[in-house]
A and B are shown apart, each in its own frame.
Chain A
């Protein structure tokens, strides 16, 4: 977790200063959240997910410019339902989890697109490589929680994911669709009782 400490500090640095007046969502309820992805292999969409991730967010829909987010994904929690695939994907050609156990996303800016739609800009770091990405998402308050749902296309080769013989994008497509459904609790709210499945 060598990246965690500086990024954690950066994440806190992005937190808004001063008293919070409007509803502020800040605790990520990971047990209700989900990060999954769809990779295309020989034209076949194959789903997988990351079972462990954590994050700090600060999001006030009335003040999007003050929002901040830091997400950390434990790459070893990768799951595509196959032991053989897992052993390959944690290896050096793919995630190289021994050298780079986690992936990070740090938000650098947020824009309101209208209605419940927002767009977050930020830096994605995987396998030691950082790229600027822009991710649209919807924001829906629900009781004392908020649901942030979105997806974006990640180019795996930008991060050196699947190199060597796996660089052949006719077998495994370069674009991977990453989907997320994050549930954040209001500041000070008690988390709702756990329910099965993280999806609405």
Chain B
């Protein structure tokens, strides 16, 4: 399931990552997570100290983690993207803080091939929700210039599986599954 949520005005805008972390630690329900992320409005200047850039690949910075959730800042140079992957976390919220990100969804078709079955564009400030269990997907920097997303996972990720996009096939531990890069 994937939802794209409108940013809405509400009292108590969160303007720093430190403030967001304090709120998340108090509010551990999914609705609370969503509310906190919707209230987040951070300027590029406030964000800059947390960003790390690499011309070879996108970067992942862990901003905060508890047993219940973890907050990851992902920085994409122009043209960079994640692998086609899935992981074991149950829920994820993705909020672009800079630039535009494209999300592609994949599913395993009959015969084990990997088929793209959906995509959406996440603009700066929009919040996307993803029920991530067994959700094969990829995020790419869709625009010119850099892009930064803030991803909140509940619970923290413990496993990560990368698929091969070239053939659309991937064998996992003896089980034939569809795949991409």
Please say whether chains A and B are actual partners in one complex: no
Residues of B within 8 A of A (CB): none
Residues of A within 8 A of B (CB): none
